[in-house]
Amino acid sequence: MQCYYHGVDAVVTCQKCGKGLCRDCIITLDGQSYCQDCFRQYVEADKAIYEGIKKRLNIGKILGVIVFVICFTGGLSIIASLIIALWLACCPESISGMHKVNNSVLNPGTWDDKVANYNDSFISGIVMAPIMAAMAYKSLKQRKINIDNNEALLAQFENR
């Protein structure tokens, strides 16, 4: 088999698409070999996940401010208003995360299963909101570092 990019003898194949790769073309991630095209798709998918998390966290911030204002002007104490607002600010990311977990495990087939699964995700997301949001915030910085490193690695291969 020949290297897809250079026409010399290939030493491995891409784990995703099966293209032959020479030693100069191998991009290794978690012990798996990828071509630059598949690795670029991985980086783009990771960036989309990162942007989605940021978007949900920002929606949560706006929701938290709105809820705080409503609670506080409605007569609740500042502490109670803050607790409620902070909890609800965590919900968009938490509900999304719980929905993905429940869908991947249950893989519902009927409409009734999908409705029950969504209800379970929604309730679990609200209950677990602070924990799930804290995990999302914590992972966001590392995910950005990984994206930057992977983009730099990809640029090295594209500039050869």
pLDDT band at 116 (very low <50, low <70, confident <90, very high): low
Stretch (H or E) spanning 29: strand 27-29
Q: What is the pLDDT of residue 77?
A: 96
Mean pLDDT over all residues of the chain?
83
Residue 54 sits in the same domain as residue 94: yes
Residue 6 sits in the same domain as residue 71: no
The alpha carbon dihedral of 13, 17, 19, 25 has a sign of negative
Q: What is the pLDDT of residue 106?
A: 47
What are 34's strand-pairing partners?
27
Residue 19 sits in the same domain as residue 65: no
Helix (H, G, I), strand (E, B) or coil at 101: helix
Cβ neighbour number for residue 61 with a 10 Å cutoff? 12
Q: What is the mean pLDDT of residues 114-119?
A: 57
Residue 113 sits in the same domain as residue 51: yes
Residue 78 sits in the same domain as residue 8: no
Q: Which residue range(s) make up the domain with 142?
A: 42-158
Residue 22 sits in the same domain as residue 85: no
Q: How many domains are contained in the chain?
A: 2
pLDDT band at 126 (very low <50, low <70, confident <90, very high): confident
The closest alpha carbon to 94, from 47, 56, 143, 54, belongs to: 56
Residue 67 sits in the same domain as residue 49: yes
pLDDT exceeds cutoff 80 at 72: yes
Residue 10 sits in the same domain as residue 50: no
* Residue type at position 30: D
Residue 158 Cα distances to 66, 130, 153, angstroms = 46, 41, 9
* Residue type at position 154: L
Which pTM value belongs to this model? Answer: 0.73
Residue 17 sits in the same domain as residue 49: no
Q: What is the pLDDT of residue 105?
A: 46
The alpha carbon dihedral of 104, 106, 107, 110 has a sign of negative
Helix (H, G, I), strand (E, B) or coil at 21: strand
Q: Using an 8 Å Cβ cutoff, are 12 and 2 in contact? A: no
